[in-house]
Amino acid sequence: MPHREQHVLQFRLEAFNALNHPSWGSPQRNILAGAPFSEAPANAARQGFGVISDTSIPMRQVQLALKYSF
């Protein structure tokens, strides 16, 4: 929005993941995650094998900017 010929005010809004849709990450692939050697695959479900517990992209982010050029 030009105010005068030499003065310009610029407003900017940037949004990343604006609708906040989850994009799930990879499942836990290590069947021995945190298990001692004696407990190997018998308690894989308790160790979280195959569980998807994180997202591959961050939550909604909005950035506002105001720039005045003269």
Residues 9, 65: Cα–Cα separation, whole Å: 11
Identify whether the C-beta of residue 17 lies closer than 8 Å to the C-beta of residue 57. Answer: yes
Residues 46, 54: Cα–Cα separation, whole Å: 17
Could you tell me which of 47, 10, 14, 12 has the C-alpha nearest to residue 29? 47
30 domain-assigned: yes
Residue 23: domain span: 8-69
1 domain-assigned: no
2 domain-assigned: no
Whose structure tokens read 């945190």? 34
How many domains does the structure of the chain reveal?
A: 1
Q: What is the pLDDT of residues 5-49, one digit of tens each?
A: 788 999 999 998 888 877 777 766 665 555 555 555 555 555 666
The whole-number pLDDT of residue 3 equals: 55
**pTM for the complete prediction?**
0.44
The whole-number pLDDT of residue 58 equals: 75
